[in-house]
Amino acid sequence: MLQDKITQYTAEINAFLTEKADELEQFRIKFLGTKGIIKDIFDEFKAVSPEEKRTLGKVLNEFKQLAEAKYQTLKDQGGVAEVSTDAGIDLTLPGEGFEIGARHPLALVRREIIEIFNKLGFIVAEGPEIEDDWHNFSALNFPEEHPARDMQDTFFIKKGGEKGDIALRTHTSSVQVRMMEAGKPPFRAIMPGRVYRNEAISARAHCFFHQVEGLYVDENVSFADLKQTLFYFVQELYGEGTKVRFRPSYFPFTEPSAEMDISCTICKGAGCQMCKYSGWVEILGCGMVDPNVLENCNIDSKKYSGFAFGMGIERIANLKFEIKDLRLFSENDARFLKQYKTSLI
């Protein structure tokens, strides 16, 4: 009889759950109160036979401990609910949704560029943003009197130093030098990073922006390899059928040098504001690595040749998303940044 009661109440205690203080109090009175069930059962226990006492004693103690533990647990948890109720919080209201962050449009484009070149076997290399004259200018064949070495164009940090003046790097080409100095050909890498120029901030210019540099050095690398690599890149990034054209240009560290245009992504060559009605837009500079640069990095320019290219990530993003003002990229306006949540995860 007593055993049956204990079994039944054990099930009831196990099933009991509440967050309400008054219900928990009723539970306490019912089981643990001075006129409660446990008291009754202990009274009944006094009347059972000595043989039964031996087996039931243990069961009874466990039952009492169960009720006490349950009460204590619910009280600890219920304490929170009690406070919350006092503070006027309605726990039955649905929770607030978390806003999922968005990737920055520049990060999206950078990642896409990296993925395309990864398919061609290019690895990603990085270098410091604070550079010395050697890595940023001299090794790259910049003449002494080149305007980039002027205060007008570069943020200098310190005069002098083992490898010349210290400045914020003006291009990611400095990473090329570091890579070639540190290893042996073949090199096949792209180098994304932030660069700095001493320019007034406007819709079309900024004192910092982002570039991706590319370098491929091996035996028998030709301009045809350069053209095919960049042609593939453009087809992947802007879709098949995008046309490319190369115009002769000049960079101190490549010879010959070219600028590459693509058929306008907006008007497909028909002419629009973006392409200034020419049907073409410039996206990057490139060329064959100047033998002087290879020699500066202790690479035999008779045996090895290579190509390099560099593009502004902002420029690529502008063409992709039709963003007309460079300043938007660094103003951290969530209304602007949120728009790119669903494109290119």
| Site of interaction with Zn ion (CB under 5 A) | 264, 266-267, 272, 274-275
User: Least distance to Zn ion from the beta carbon of 344, Å?
Assistant: 22
CA–CA dist 247, 258 (Å, integer): 5
Contacts with 121 (C-beta within 8 Å, 6 or more apart), sequence order? 188
* Count of residues in the chain: 345
Residue with the CB atom nearest Zn ion in the bound state: 264
R_g (Cα) of the chain, nearest Å: 37
User: Least distance to Zn ion from the beta carbon of 271, Å?
Assistant: 6
Answer positive or negative: Cα dihedral of 88, 92, 97, 98.
positive
One-letter amino acid of 7 = T
Nearest CB to Zn ion, comparing residues 152 and 273: 273
Distance from the Cα of residue 328 to its chain's centroid:
19
User: Least distance to Zn ion from the beta carbon of 140, Å?
Assistant: 33
Nearest CB to Zn ion, comparing residues 120 and 272: 272
Question: Which helix (DSSP H) or strand (DSSP E) does residue 181 occupy?
Answer: helix 173-182
Nearest CB to Zn ion, comparing residues 39 and 268: 268
Closest alpha carbon to 313 in 181, 176, 210, 182 = 210
User: Least distance to Zn ion from the beta carbon of 275, Å?
Assistant: 3
Tell how strand 123-124 and strand 187-196 pair up: parallel
Nearest CB to Zn ion, comparing residues 212 and 264: 264
Question: Which helix (DSSP H) or strand (DSSP E) does residue 205 occupy?
Answer: none
User: Least distance to Zn ion from the beta carbon of 313, Å?
Assistant: 21
Closest alpha carbon to 209 in 310, 320, 333 = 310
CA–CA dist 205, 312 (Å, integer): 12
Nearest CB to Zn ion, comparing residues 56 and 275: 275
User: Least distance to Zn ion from the beta carbon of 153, Å?
Assistant: 30
Helices (DSSP H) in 87-127: which residue ranges?
105-119
User: Least distance to Zn ion from the beta carbon of 241, Å?
Assistant: 15
Contact criterion met (CB below 8 Å) for 230 and 286: yes
Nearest CB to Zn ion, comparing residues 66 and 266: 266
Nearest CB to Zn ion, comparing residues 64 and 243: 243
